[in-house]
Structures are given as C-alpha cells and as structure tokens.
Chains A and B, each alone.
Chain A
Amino acid sequence: MFGVSNERIDVQQLRDKIKNPGSGGVCVFEGWVRNQNEGRTVKRLEYEVYEPLAILEGEKVIAEAMQQFPFLEANCVHRSGLLEIGDCAVWVGVSSPHRDEAFKACRFIIDEIKSRLPIWKKEHYVDGDSGWVNCERCASV
C-alpha cells in the first residue's frame, strides 16, 4: 500500500504493518533530508505532492514490484510539506520469505517512485535562496 503524509513518518508503525508469519525478513529503505546538495548547504526541503495521482501511481509501482519479485507485504509512504534536515522523506519496506525478493522489490519501488510520481522537491538553502530539484535519473538521461 502507498500513502502520502504531511506529518512525521512513524517508522515503527509502518514496519509493524508489513509483519507476516511467512516472512523471513524485511528490507527497508528510508530516504532522509541531507544538508548538502551539489555543493550548496541545504536548510530544509519542501515537497509538493499531487496526491490523487501520486497515490494511484504509487499503488501501480507496488503492484509491478509484486509481479516481478513476488513478496508477501509492502508499504511505502512519502512525505509532503516542509521537512527539516534528518527527517524521513520516504519510507519503503518489503517483507518476503527470502531476502533476494525483498532487496530487489525495495530497490525497484524506491527507484520508480522517485522518477514516476507527481512529487516535486524544493530546496531551501542557508543563503536564503531556493530552487526546484530535478530527479537524478531525469538529469542523467
């Protein structure tokens, strides 16, 4: 399941939701707000999310991951609004009987979410300037 939250992500609660007696492990990716990007010192981040389509597309990404790397449970939440350095911006967790599917599905989900969902990131710098960030995969193509 995929969700968008404008409040602090409760990591423990999300992790509990993907517990399953058939799972032998969980693979989790947490995206954090860092204080540097391309040589500039970042003070905080702002995420703009168009929720109706972000949720539809996020659910689609998880369904695609399930088809390619069958797992038992997956959950993903992306933040919206203003975030401070160190805050969790995105959380992905996949539990499965064996680790291989969990690692692969987790990687697939975070990569697709970064490049497909209608989510935009604005960095606010310590010098008072700000700017929208292009996705890494887009910028490298």
Chain B
Amino acid sequence: MKIITVRYFAMFREHAGLAEETLELEAATALDVFKLTQNRHGSTEPIGHCKVAINDEMADWSSAISDGDTVLLFPPVAGG
C-alpha cells in the first residue's frame, strides 16, 4: 500500500466533493489511481481525454506511482 495525495480539478472536484485527499492505495500506476478514485467517488467520466500529472509534471497513465506522490487528475480541458 502507498500513501498518495490525489488532487481533483473542475468536474472531478465536483464529483468527489473535495479538492484533495490523501489515501492509502494499492496502486502501481497513475491509471490505477484514476480507477480507484473513480470507484471511490462513483465518477463515470471516460478516461479518453483526461490527463494526469505526478508531482506537478505531466505524466502518462502508465507512469509508476511512488509512496508519497501527489497525483493530479485533470478532466478534459477546454481553454480559450
């Protein structure tokens, strides 16, 4: 198990009802964190155009997660 801080933005924050939480998760990759937190909050947003960052660096869903990491979950973006 790893201690992971997860930050939620925009619609993810609204689904979760909070901006950030620290969880003990059985997660090897960023994708695991996405799936586990989706189950936790009953979110059904497809992963399609969502993005992820780890410790303030853009990452891939296959990126490895380490104990103590902060994972940022970004729903589909819409600038401009």
Binding site for B on A (CB under 8 A): 31, 47-48, 50, 52-53, 57, 78, 89-90, 110, 113-122, 132-135, 138, 141
Contacts and interface: CB of A to CB of B under 8 A. Distances in A.
Interface residues of B, number: 17
Nearest to B80: A114
A114 B10 contact: no
B80 A120 contact: no
B56 A118 contact: no
A120 B75 contact: yes
Interface of B: 9-11, 48-49, 51, 53, 56, 58, 72, 74-80
Interface of A is mostly: mixed
Given A110-B80, A113-B79, A120-B78, A135 B49 contact: yes
